[in-house]
Structure 1
C-alpha cells in the first residue's frame, strides 16, 4: 500500500502536456507571407485541448492543397500521424502539389510531440547528431560576374557556413553574343518567361494575362526539348566565371551548383566536364528528375557528383534513380517528399545504395525546424539548405527557438516538445502579408469543414 501511495504521489507531480488519447483536431488556418525568402504558407492546426501544431505548405504553392484536406482531418487524433498520412497521401503530387499533405504532416508531428512532451526526433528513433550543418545558397541575381558572386559567397563563409551553393545559369549568357545556340527568338522568350511570375500576380486585362500565360509555357518545355546549346565561347565564359569565384573563396570549401537552365543531356555533360577542375560539391537538378536513364548517363559521364530530388513525392519516387545509379546525392524537400517521417525513410533507403542525403529548404523557420528533426534522425544526412541569409526578420517569425537559429553554420537540434516552436509572431507575419493579393491573418476556413468525396481508389 505504501509503495502504491508513493507511486501515486510521483504521478501527481508529473507535468502532463495533454490527454493524448483524447486529443482531436478542431480547425486549420493559414497565413501567407512573402520574401521569406519565397512566398511561404504557414499552417496552424488547432485542437480541443488548446495545443496548436505548426506546419507549412511548400514555397510558391497554394493553401488550397491543404484546405481540401480539412474535412478529412476534423475530429482526428493528430497523434496517429502515420495513419492520417496514409489517408492523406493520395491527395499529394509532385513538387508543389504535395504541399498540402506535407504541410499538415509537419503539424501532426508537432502536436504529437507536444501531447507527449518529447521532441519530434525522439519519436523517430532518436538522433544521430546534436547539430545540423547548413549549406548557404546564394542567388545569381545582381552578381553577373564571378568576382561579385565570390564576394557574396565569402560573406557567407565569414558568418561560419562550412558549405555553399551558387547558381550557374545559362541566363548569364543571354547577353553574351555567340555564347548560346538556339532557335532564333527562343532565348528572348526564356528571358521574358523568367521575369513573368511576379507579373502574373498583378491584375491585368484578359489579353495581358493570355500573353503572360503563353510566355510562361516556355518554362514548361523540358530541358532536352529546347534545342538550346552552349557554344565554346559560352563554355569559356562560364569557365572564367567559376575561376573568378574560386579565386575569391578558395578550393577548400564545398561549393554546389544549381539552376543550370533549359539545356539537355549533352550540354549538361559538356558543362559538368568543364566544372570538374573546380571541385564542385554537386551539380543540382541539371535535368528533369524523372529522366532516370539520362541521369545515369550523366553521372557516368562526368567526375562531378550529381544531385536531384526536390520535386519528388514519396519514397517510391526516389527508388528508380537510386536503382539506376543516377545520383550521388539525393536532395528532397520535406514539403514535397512527404514530410518528416517519409523524408527519413527516403534517407534510409538511399543509404542502402551508398548515397548521401542533402535536404532542400527555401522556407520559413517552421519547415526548417521540421527538417532539422527529420535529418537529426537520419544517418546518411549531409547538409540542410539555408536560403534566407539575406532576410533579416526570418528568425523573428517564431518564439521559443535559439536566436539566431543558425550559428556558425549549424542549427542546434532543439529538445523542446514537438518542433521546438512555442508560437508564431503575428506582428511579424502581418508585416509581410500582401493584403491586396492574399487574405489576412489566420482567417476562418469554415467553408472547407464539410466537403465530401468518395476517396477509395478501388471498386
Structure 2
C-alpha cells in the first residue's frame, strides 16, 4: 500500500464568540485537513485546528504540500514510525519543533486513519485497548465570561453529565480568581472535580502564591502555571505545592517530556496531538509517563481519544459542552469510543 498523493484543504474564519484565557484571545476557527492517498484506493485524513492567526492554516498547508508530502510519495503507508522519523530528519535543519511538528503530526494522524480503514477497525483497537469509555470533564470556564455567565455554563456542563469542569485563571488579581472559583463551586457542588488553568501566565513566585490558594479551595489540579519550556521552575514549583501540576500541551517531542518526568515537575501530563508529534508520539509519551507513575489527561479531544483508550494511566479526556442537538451523550460521565474504522471521533472544538 504505497502513498501516491498528499492533499490539503484549508479553512479559516472568525469565531462567532471569541474566547479568552490569561494570555491570549482565541478569535478564529482555522483548520488544515490533510489527506494521504494510496495505490490501494484507501485514504486517510487528519484535521489540525488553529484558534487564532488567519495565516496559520495556509502556512501549514504550504509546508505539507511543498515539503512534507512530496517526501513520502512512494513510501509504504503502514510504516508510520519510519515516516515520522524520516520527516523529522528532513526538517531538522529548519527546526522541527513548531510548525514542522504540526505538519508531521497531521501526516501521522492521517496515516493512522488510513491504517485503521484498511483493516476495518478503529485505531484504538490497533493500539491495544485498555478501556471502552473515557471519563471526561468540560473546559468551559473562559475568562471573557462574567460570573453569572460562568456559573451558567458550568451548571449546563453538570446537566450534561460531565465528571468535572475546568476554568481559566490568571487574567486578573488573585482575589478575582478566588471569587470566580467560589462562584463555580457554588453551582457544581463540593464533590465535583474543579481544575484551574493559567495558560503559562505566572512566574515561579506568583505560581507558588496562587497555587497554595487554589489548593486551599480544593482544586483538582493547577494547569500550565509557568512557561512550558522552563523544566527547572516546574520541578521547584512541584516541590512547593501539594496541588498537582498539570502541563504538557506546549511541549514538543518526547525529549521535552522525558526531562520533565525525570525531574518530577509534573503531576498530570497533558500532551497536545499537534505539538507532541501526533498520535504516535502521544501514545509513546503516555507509556513513558506510565513508567513514572504519572497520570495522563489529554489536551483537547478528537483523535486523542484513541490514545486515551489504549493507555493504562488515562484519567480524563477534555471536552467543550456537548452539541445542543443531542447527537452526543455521556454514559456515567464517560465518552463511548468510536466504532467506525480509522480515527472517526468527536471534536473538542
State the 1:253 CA deviation. 1.1
Of 120, 125, 128, the residue aligned with 2:123 is 120
What pairs with 1:59-78 in structure 2 (closer than 5 Å)? Answer: 59-60=50-51, 61=56, 62-67=60-65, 68-78=67-77
Report if aligned partners of 2:143, 2:169 keep a CA contact under 8 Å in 1.
no
Structure-2 change in CA distance of 1:45 and 1:314 (3 Å): same
Structure-2 change in CA distance of 1:44 and 1:152 (3 Å): same
In the alignment, is residue 411 of structure 1 matched against residue 335 of structure 2? yes
Comparing 407-416 and 249-258, the one that deviates more: 407-416
2:154 & 2:96 partners in 1: Cα distance? Answer: 34
Report if aligned partners of 2:170, 2:177 keep a CA contact under 8 Å in 1.
no
Structure number with greater CO (CA < 8 Å, separation at least 6) is: 1
State the 1:339 CA deviation. 1.4
TM-score norm. by structure 1 comes to 0.65
State the 1:411 CA deviation. 2.4
Name the counterpart of 1:166: 167
Report if aligned partners of 1:95, 1:312 keep a CA contact under 8 Å in 2.
no
1:154 & 1:26 partners in 2: Cα distance? Answer: 47
In the alignment, is residue 375 of structure 1 matched against residue 297 of structure 2? no
Q: Report runs of 4+ in structure 1 exceeding 6 Å deviation.
A: none
Report if aligned partners of 2:268, 2:294 keep a CA contact under 8 Å in 1.
yes
Task: List per-residue Cα deviations over 1:52-84 (Å, max 9, x = no partner).
Answer: 201123425432342320111222221111111
2:85 & 2:288 partners in 1: Cα distance? Answer: 19
Name the counterpart of 1:57: 48
Of 329, 340, 350, the residue aligned with 2:289 is 350
Supply the RMSD in Å over aligned alpha carbons.
2.5
SS at match of 2:32: strand
Name the counterpart of 1:361: 300
Structure-2 change in CA distance of 1:245 and 1:63 (3 Å): same
Task: List per-residue Cα deviations over 1:9-51 (Å, max 9, x = no partner).
Answer: xxxxxxxxxxxxx443323222325449842222222222322
Task: List per-residue Cα deviations over 1:146-183 (Å, max 9, x = no partner).
Answer: x432331111111111121111132xx3xxxxxxxxxx
Name the counterpart of 2:21: none
SS at match of 1:280: coil
Structure-2 change in CA distance of 1:384 and 1:25 (3 Å): farther
Structure-2 change in CA distance of 1:134 and 1:110 (3 Å): same
Tell me the matched-pair count: 321
Question: Larger Rg: 1 or 2?
Answer: 1
In the alignment, is residue 290 of structure 1 matched against residue 291 of structure 2? no
Name the counterpart of 1:135: 137
Task: List per-residue Cα deviations over 1:227-265 (Å, max 9, x = no partner).
Answer: xxxxxxx33333232222212211211111113563311
